[in-house]
Structure 1
């Protein structure tokens, strides 16, 4: 079974950001349960929604059954987030097993990419489905992004990976074989050709931006001046 933990830090300029916080939470949980990956999901950008550079949430995918593992993971996540709290941020945290993520949660996630939503809708949805949802400071508006993250991550077809296997350790020109052994399931050009060998150009100092596609980890590349360059999607 898969457990999903979604967080939205709605970070301030002084905080380390939702992505880095999610990786820290995942590292702490990994001491107890295996982590499949951490994904980033883009939400709606609108003047009425506070954000720093991007409006996104992050989801930790845990390979464990529900019950005690879910409670333990939530406890670790909540403590890590509260320890990291910076005045001015409005964090929210949500947790559920994959089978708790009903179609209404997926619809909520899609809506959160296209319109301004309310805490009331997020909290009512969580209550009706028995999903754990909590605001951890400030206005608690992060509960909206957290609920949206559950729905988007459950599709296994949205966002991109912030952490998967050892992909983050690779940067610059990298052999395709090394990427495929580090956590990438498939390398594909934008016109649909599979790549299994040769050198992939990753941005120096930046990790590969692989995406979840039908539950697989796919890195898209584009041919530029005879070289295969990794491109960012979502």
Structure 2
């Protein structure tokens, strides 16, 4: 069971991105709570939607159940975000237990990947589902992506992990065994073959980005010139 913390629209063109902030908040939360990882979810890119570069939100996954810690988790995340507030950003923050994320919120998340949505709809949904949602500055448009991210993260079939286990410590090409030991559950080619041995090639300065698939962290690879190369999916 999982508690989700989602943040959106936390940056401007000259600042670090939402993903980096989400990882920093996750690090702070991990001092008290069992953080599993951080996922990135792509939202709609449209001229009517203000965004910095890619319009994505970040979701922190905490491996615990219940409601008694939701307010404390929210306050820790809120304080970290306010301490790091960037002029020109319009951040939103939400925290929810998996039981609060109903089909209506999953539908909202999927709509946010292909439609222009409103703050009013996000806030009404949060109120009806009793999810704590707050805008933390600027226009507060980040509340839209913040709610959307909750629904997308619950599906465990959207986006990619920015952080899970110790994968960020593994830069560049890595063996399959090293990646599995670091926290990846399995590795598959895009055409469906399971990879159990060998080397996975990746950018020299980057770590691989597995995807959430049915509760697992799956790394997808493709064969290029006889080598298996990590794929970064949205």
Q: TM-score range by the shorter chain?
A: over 0.9
1:10–1:55: 8 Å Cα contact kept in structure 2?
no
2:155 counterpart of 1:167: no
Paired position in structure 2 for 1:103: 103
The one-character-per-residue Cα deviations of 1:30-65 (angstroms, maximum 9, x if unpaired) are: 000111110000000011111121000010000122
Mapped partners of 1:66, 1:141: distance in 2: 28
1:222–1:228: 8 Å Cα contact kept in structure 2?
yes
Equivalent position SS for 1:68: coil
Paired position in structure 2 for 1:131: 131
Unaligned runs of 5+ residues in structure 1 are: none
1:91–1:140: 8 Å Cα contact kept in structure 2?
yes
Mapped partners of 1:191, 1:87: distance in 2: 45
Mapped partners of 1:152, 1:145: distance in 2: 10
| TM-score of the two chains, using structure 1 as the length reference | 0.98
2:25 counterpart of 1:36: no
Shift in Å at residue 68 of structure 1?
3.0
Mapped partners of 1:184, 1:55: distance in 2: 26
| TM-score of the two chains, using structure 2 as the length reference | 0.98
The one-character-per-residue Cα deviations of 1:89-146 (angstroms, maximum 9, x if unpaired) are: 0000011000100000000000000010000000000000100000000000000000
Mapped partners of 1:22, 1:143: distance in 2: 15
Paired position in structure 1 for 2:230: 230
Shift in Å at residue 232 of structure 1?
1.0
Inter-CA distance 32–10: structure 2 relative to 1 (3 Å threshold): closer
Paired position in structure 1 for 2:219: 219
Equivalent position SS for 1:222: strand
Mapped partners of 1:84, 1:172: distance in 2: 30
Equivalent position SS for 2:69: helix
Shift in Å at residue 230 of structure 1?
0.4
Q: Kindly report the root-mean-square deviation, in angstroms, between the aligned alpha carbons of the 2 structures.
A: 0.9
Shift in Å at residue 82 of structure 1?
0.2
Shift in Å at residue 72 of structure 1?
1.5
1:19–1:162: 8 Å Cα contact kept in structure 2?
yes
2:140 counterpart of 1:140: yes
Shift in Å at residue 9 of structure 1?
2.6
Equivalent position SS for 1:51: coil
Paired position in structure 1 for 2:197: 197
Shift in Å at residue 15 of structure 1?
2.5
Shift in Å at residue 227 of structure 1?
0.6
Shift in Å at residue 228 of structure 1?
0.5
